[in-house]
Every structure is written in C-alpha cells, then in structure tokens.
Structure 1
Amino acid sequence: MRSLEERIIKDGVVKDGSVLKVDSFLNHQMDIALFSEIGKEFYRLFAADGITKIITVEASGIGIACVAAQYFNVPVVFAKKSRTSNLTGEVYKDRIYSFTHECFTDIYIKKSYISKNDTVLIIDDFLAKGSALEGLIRIVNEAGARLAGAGIVIEKGFQGGGDRIRGKGIRVESLAVIERMEDDGRIVFRSGRD
C-alpha cells in the first residue's frame, strides 16, 4: 500500500537495524484516517471470504482491527495477555514469544467468542518472526473455525515469519513488507509492492 510505505518512510524511525518505531501514527498515537485506508484495503483483500470474526492480540492490533471491522460489519475479539478475574469460563490459551519485550506470554480468548461456525481474519500491526500470529492460528484451529488468513500492516520480511507461515499454506496479506533497514535509517521495501 503506497500511502502506508510513504508514511513509514516519512515518520518511521529505524533503531538498531531491526527495530522500526512507528508510534507517531500506528501503535501509540493512531492516525485514524490512515487506519481507515488500511481497513478498506483489508476489506478489499478479504471481502469475498465471508469473514464473521476478526481477531488480534492486545494491545497494538486492537485499533486497526476495530477500524477494519467496520467495513466487514463483524465483531473483533482480542486475545488478552493476562487471565484477569473478569475473564471467566472456558478459554483458549496459547503461549507466544514477544521479541519486542523479549519474553514469553500467554494469550487467552474466551471459548464462547470463537466457534467452528466462524470464518476468522487475523489482523495485527506487525509481523516479524511470527510467534503472535502462530499463536492466534493455533487458537483458531483449536476452535475448529475456518481461517481466511491474516492481514498485517507492516511485515519485516527480513525476519522470516511471514514467509515461513505462507510456506504452511496460510494466506498472509501484508500492506507493507520491509526487505531491510539500513544503518543510515533507510527503509527498503520488498520489490513488487505497490
């Protein structure tokens, strides 16, 4: 998505060669006009799939998932990263590794919120090595739901998660795929992206 790539170049900050800060428009302060464009693009890509639920992981994926859900007219379910007292009843649980926080964390989705009758679209802000996405995929599979695929805002192609998951036959649509980030702060997108 050209406008997203342009925004990443304009406002993204490369740190330590593999960290991309986009907190000024994506995952701290949120540019809702851009989110609307992103939501429309995910709808264009997945409209024919009969989506009944969108799922994501708290917290950074929630805003994007909610804006996209307006176009699909479906609910959003987000996997919680802690089992609080108000998360009662049976839950799906999976363990994922956060490369940002450098630790394992458990994620939870209440079983009554996803079922074998659902067609699920997973939406998230980033895809790097793929741990969070794989955890959500396992939960969708455990629920017996149909996975339409994953909509990712920014994929760090050089970290391999997207290619590995696509290699398993899972549809992953990333709106911006970064091939590499240079030490001078330059961001190079995967060829063939528009």
Structure 2
Amino acid sequence: MNFLEEKIVKDGLVKEGNILKVDNFLNHQLDVDTLDKLGKAFYDEFKDEGITKVVTVEASGIAIACMTARYFNVPVVFAKKAKSMNLDGDLYTSKVRSFTYGKEYDVTIARKFLGPDDKVLLVDDFLAIGNAMNGLLDICSQAGAQVGGIGIAIEKGFQGGGDELRAKGYKLMSMAIVEAMDPVNGVTFRQ
C-alpha cells in the first residue's frame, strides 16, 4: 500500500452514491506533505517527457498542480469553471459534466497561456468517468499542445474513465486506484 492509499484508509470516508470524502487532506483542508509526495511521484513518473506546463481544472486540482509544477520548475495553468471579468482575449473552451456536482459547465483557458509549443502534464484530484480530463484534452487539442502525461491522485477504477484514457494511448499514472468502495467495507484498491 502506498502513502496515498494509507492516507485514504486512515482519513477518508466512503459515503453512499460512490462518494469518497477526502476533504480533510486533499480537496478542502490540504495536507501539504501528502500534496508534496504526490508532486514528487508525478515528477518521477513524467520527468523525461519534456513537460513545459502543468494543467488542471479549478479548484481541487490546483494544489496538486502547484506542488507538481515545483518539481518541474514550470508554470501551472488551470481551466476556469466560471467566466469572470479578468478573463480577456481569446479563450479555449470545452464543456464538462461534473460527477460530484451533477451539472454541466464550460471550462476555459486563455489562449495566451497554452499553445503548440507546450507539452503538458494534466493533473487532478479525482478521475471517475473522465469528463473533466476529456475537457482538458479537448482544450489541449484546440491549442495544439502535446499531452506528455496524466497524473491523478485518486482514480475510481470501477467507473472506467482511466481505462478509456489508457486505451486511447495516454500515459496515465494514478496514485490510488479504487476498485470498489462502500460505507460498510470501506475501500478496495487495484493492485
């Protein structure tokens, strides 16, 4: 069992509806040591890929992306979920349906921050059916940016998103792949 799987068993909480709450260390309150270990693990896996930017979706992926980018010494670019007054110029946009929130929204990245000279590492806290990641892949395609890899903290393996991305040829590393979970028995990880 790796450090993240141990942390999930110790501090995670499984709720009905395939919800794994890790808000006390990963996506609300942040355990910086765990985030740093994630960043280092993603760096070790993708360090030879020529990564120029780490890309994620706001909000929960940002902390992981920042810790990862430290090791690569590259900028973080995050796709915004809401159009704000400080987004100017041309934008790349993709529609994403959130599993957690049960709604569809546009994610956007300003064209000035992503282009054909970039080779990106996509990172996020969770991967379930893959909607957010497919939105980021769509934006990278629009920008002409290459995808050097995908780093995920927790993949819900039973929902198939990771398997689909691997079948498409993406190099995907998930620190913890949950095979099954329920409130009574907790979490079972893929080996």
TM-score tier by shorter-chain length is over 0.9
Give the Cα separation in 1 of the matches to 2:34 and 2:186. Answer: 22
| Pairing 1:45–2:67 present | no
Give the Cα separation in 1 of the matches to 2:168 and 2:145. Answer: 17
**Cα offset, 1:185, TM superposition:** 4.0
Give the Cα separation in 1 of the matches to 2:38 and 2:52. Answer: 19
Q: Deviations over 1:7-41 (max 9, x none)?
A: 00001000005100000000000000111111100
Q: Specify every segment of 5 or more residues in structure 2 that has no aligned partner in the other structure, as ranges.
A: none
1:135 partner amino acid: G
Match of 2:175 in 1: 175
Show the 5 A alignment for 1:145-156.
Answer: 145-156=145-156
Match of 1:73 in 2: 73
TM-score, normalising length: structure 1: 0.96
Aligned length: 191
Give the Cα separation in 2 of the matches to 1:14 and 1:6. Answer: 14
SS at 1:48 equivalent: coil
| Pairing 1:98–2:98 present | yes
| Pairing 1:8–2:38 present | no
2:124 partner amino acid: D
Q: Deviations over 1:149-177 (max 9, x none)?
A: 11000000001110011111111110100
Give the Cα separation in 1 of the matches to 2:64 and 2:160. Answer: 23
Q: Deviations over 1:54-106 (max 9, x none)?
A: 00000000011001100000000000001111100000000000011101000
Q: Deviations over 1:103-130 (max 9, x none)?
A: 1000000001001000000010000010
| Pairing 1:143–2:143 present | yes
| Pairing 1:162–2:159 present | no
SS at 1:162 equivalent: helix
Runs of 4+ in 1 over 2 A off after TM superposition: none
2:6 partner amino acid: E
TM-score, normalising length: structure 2: 0.98
Match of 1:127 in 2: 127
State the identity as a percent.
52
SS at 1:61 equivalent: helix
Give the Cα separation in 2 of the matches to 1:182 and 1:108. Answer: 34
Answer whether contact 1:39 1:67 (CA < 8 A) is retained: yes
Give the Cα separation in 2 of the matches to 1:21 and 1:180. Answer: 14
